């Protein structure tokens, strides 16, 4: 099973176990369960239900017997197979945050005791927010636009399909003039764009993509900033090229992720499917599925944790020994907060998987429990020595 599919099934099982699965997601899970091996894996996963029950009890402020933790720890220790790693990671995460659940529970009780005028507003997560800079320089706010056709650029119509998605489709006009558009997600925003050739682009927060409204030339050329995931429509006659900074990816049809936030010295390109050529002043290399190119003064290629790379697209922050500066940058972009450092950046690393749909308070509380000293004032977070 490919890493991306494994991550998707893991997410569906978590949603099933916590009663948050939608009808469409349940149908997707049911189809996967038609395979007997998959069904057996699912049954092993659901045998861990006592872990979730323990977590729910702690959230309600109920006592949990020490023997329960002992049983969970033994269960984690006896399993060694690679196939079980994804399922045990969920269990380990639940155990690791049980103490945090007690703090959250107590904090909610404390908040309920305060007069309503003294309750601090929650640091809400981002959502589907973006705007389009049209060819004439005017702006179209997608958050305020209704569904359906919301504009036209040359012979191409802009169609908002629903919350979080904008399609560029060939209209009935005979006009062939090429126009350039830029879709921008602000801090606290993300969006899905389908280009006129059928290529899907998912923009993370504080990102942008600049592209022609129709690909009438010999190639398909776009430019991005920030982070974007591509599912490129196959067209051997028209190579697809993505520029970011002074680097470029060339492809015919594939799936890949680019991370290019300019506050960091290096960019990365991760290939999920197909093959791409990564070029920069440092040289060029061909990526194979499951590889990541780190691009700076040189290009280095390493095996990629594709589930971690794609976590943002499926609604999670996922870190494995991530340095604090990168974690705080993610928080700043997604929650639209300002982050400051008082003195040197602490030498801290974080490993966690947390929903991006949670309020920032929960993530900040986890950072504090990891030894990070924070001060929160309105929309500014100060990291203290």
For 121, list phi and psi in degrees, rounded to 5: -65, 140
Segment 242-251 long-range contacts (CB within 8 Å, at least 24 positions apart): 245/280, 246/280, 246/281, 247/278, 247/279, 247/280, 247/295, 248/278, 248/279, 248/280, 249/276, 249/277, 249/278, 249/279, 250/276, 250/277, 250/279, 251/275, 251/276, 251/277
d(CA 21, CA 33): 15
Structure confidence at residue 175 (pLDDT): 72
What pLDDT digit, counting tens, does each position of 183-192 carry?
A: 999 999 999 9
pLDDT the model gives residue 269: 97
Q: What are residue 291's DSSP bridge partners?
A: 303
Nearest to 186 by CA among 129, 143, 225: 129
* CA–CA gap between residue 208 and residue 223 (Å, rounded): 8
Give the model's pLDDT for residue 146: 93
The answer to whether 375 touches 367, Cβ cutoff 8 Å, is no
CA distance 12 to 245: 36
Which among 359, 356, 370 is positioned nearest to 324, based on CA atoms? 370
Give 290's DSSP letter.
T
Across the strands, what pairs with 340?
Answer: 382
Q: Which of 216, 222, 214 is nearest to 260 (CA)?
A: 222
Q: Which two tokens stand for residue 175?
A: 């006009």
Regions of the chain short of the pLDDT cut 50: 47-52, 54-64, 66, 68-121
List Cβ neighbours of 27 (8 Å cut-off, separation of 6 or more).
none
Taking only the tens place, the pLDDT of each residue in 316-339 is: 999 988 999 999 999 999 999 999
Residue 246, classed as helix, strand or coil, is coil
Q: What pLDDT was estimated at residue 121?
A: 46
CB 242 within 8 A of CB 222: yes
Q: What is the pLDDT of residue 46?
A: 52
Q: Could you give the C-alpha distances from 22 to 13, 33, 53, 153, 359, in angstroms and in order? A: 12, 16, 21, 36, 21
Strands (E), 60-144: 127-128, 131-133, 139-141
Task: Give the model's pLDDT for residue 268.
Answer: 96
Per-residue model confidence (pLDDT) at position 3: 59
- What pLDDT sits at residue 55? 45
Q: Answer whether 339's CB lies under 8 Å from 376's CB.
A: no
C-alpha to C-alpha distance for 301 and 291, rounded to whole angstroms: 7
Q: What is the pLDDT of residue 122?
A: 59
All structural domains of the chain? 3-118 (no CATH), 127-270 (2.60.120.1440), 321-384 (3.55.50.30)
| Contact yes or no for 105/97 (Cβ under 8 A) | no
Query: If you ran DSSP here, which 8-state letter would residue 315 be given?
Result: T
Q: What pLDDT is attached to residue 293?
A: 96
Distance from C-alpha of 346 to C-alpha of 338, rounded to nearest angstrom: 17
């Amino acid at each position: 099973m490919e890493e991306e599919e494994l991550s998707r099934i893991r997410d569906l099982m978590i949603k099933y176990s916590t009663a948050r699965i939608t009808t469409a997601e349940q149908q997707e899970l049911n189809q996967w369960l038609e395979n007997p091996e998959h069904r057996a894996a699912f049954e092993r996963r659901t045998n861990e239900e006592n872990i979730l029950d323990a977590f729910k009890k702690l959230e309600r402020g109920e006592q949990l017997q020490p023997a329960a933790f002992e049983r969970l720890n033994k269960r984690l220790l006896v399993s060694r197979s690679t196939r079980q790693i994804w399922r045990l990671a969920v269990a380990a995460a639940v155990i690791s945050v049980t103490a945090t659940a007690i703090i959250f529970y107590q904090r909610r009780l404390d908040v309920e005791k305060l007069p309503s005028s003294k309750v601090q507003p929650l640091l809400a997560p981002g959502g589907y927010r973006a705007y389009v800079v049209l060819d004439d320089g005017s702006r179209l706010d997608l958050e305020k636009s209704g569904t359906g056709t919301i504009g036209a650029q040359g012979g191409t119509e802009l169609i908002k399909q629903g919350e979080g998605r904008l399609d560029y489709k060939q209209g009935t006009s005979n006009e062939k003039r090429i126009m350039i558009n830029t879709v921008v997600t602000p801090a606290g925003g993300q969006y899905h764009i389908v280009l006129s050739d059928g290529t899907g682009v998912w923009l993370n927060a504080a990102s942008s993509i600049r592209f022609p409204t129709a690909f009438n030339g010999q190639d398909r050329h776009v430019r991005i900033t920030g982070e974007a995931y591509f599912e490129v429509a196959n067209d051997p006659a028209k190579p697809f090229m993505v520029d970011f900074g002074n680097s470029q990816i060339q492809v015919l049809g594939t799936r890949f992720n680019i991370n290019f936030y300019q506050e960091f010295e290096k960019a990365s390109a991760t290939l999920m499917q197909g093959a791409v050529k990564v070029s920069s002043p440092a040289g060029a290399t061909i990526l194979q599925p499951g590889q990541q190119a780190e691009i700076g003064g040189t290009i280095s290629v390493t095996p990629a944790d594709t589930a971690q790379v794609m976590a943002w697209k499926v609604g999670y922050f996922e870190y494995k020994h991530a340095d604090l500066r990168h974690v705080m940058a993610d928080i700043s972009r997604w929650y639209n907060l300002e982050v400051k450092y008082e003195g040197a950046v602490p030498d801290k690393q974080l490993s966690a998987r947390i929903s991006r749909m949670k309020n920032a308070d929960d993530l900040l509380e986890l950072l504090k429990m990891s030894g990070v000293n924070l001060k929160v004032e309105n929309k500014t977070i100060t990291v203290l020595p």
